[in-house]
Amino acid sequence: MAAKGKSEWFDWLKALLIAFGIAFLVRTFLFTPIIVDGPSMQPTLHDRDQMIVNKFLYKIDEPERFDVVVFHANDQKDFIKRVIALPGEHVAYKDNILYIDGEPIEEEFFLDTRVDIETNDFTLEVIKGNYGTVPEGHVFVLGDNRTNSTDSRLLGPIPIDQIVGKASVIYWPFDRFKFIGE
C-alpha cells in the first residue's frame, strides 16, 4: 500500500516537472506574453493590452513592412512598434504620406480607424545616424500614435537581432481579442 502511494506521488511530480519543462521551452523559444505599456501604438493597440509575441518566426524569416514587433530598446525595456522600412530602403514622410524609395505607400492598417494620424515631415537623413538608407541588418520602426512615440525617429534604425518577435494576438481584454496584421 505504501509503495503504491509513493508511486502515485512520484507520477504526479514527474508530470508536473514535464509540464513546467514544456512551458519553459515554449516561453523561451516560441511564444511569450507581453503587456502594452503606454499609448504609442494607439489606435491599433491600447495601454495594458495583453498580447502573445511569436518569438520563433524571425528565426526562420525576416520582418516585413508593417509587422508589429517587440524589440529590446535597452537592457531594461522592450518597445512595441510597427516596421515601416526594411534594410536598403529610404524612408521619408511629407504632407502626412509615407514614401519608401520615393514611392508613396498606403498605410492600410490606418484605413479601418476613425482617427486621423498625423506624422510630422522627416527624411531618413535627419534621423539619428544620418543614414541615406536603412542599414543592412536593421529596420525602421514607428509607433502608430506618431505624435506620442519613442521610435526610430529618436532611436535610429533598430538592429534585427534586437527584435524579440512579432506581436501576433491581443488576448486581453477579451472584448479586444484580435489577430494583429491578419
Q: Hey, which residues are catalytic here?
A: 40, 81
Q: Are 47 and 54 spatial neighbours (Cβ–Cβ below 8 Å)?
A: no
Cell of 136: 543592412
How far is residue 146 from each of residues 39, 40, 42, 70, 159, measured CA to CA in Å? 10, 7, 9, 17, 21
Question: Residue type at 89?
Answer: E
Q: How far apart are CA 71 and CA 75, in angstroms?
A: 11
How far is residue 149 from each of residues 18, 26, 99, 107, 145, measured CA to CA in Å? 42, 31, 19, 17, 6
Tell me the HSE value of 12 on the side-chain side, using a 13 A CA sphere: 6
* Element (DSSP H or E) covering residue 33: strand 31-35
Question: Residue type at 33?
Answer: P
Q: How far apart are CA 26 and CA 102, in angstroms?
A: 42
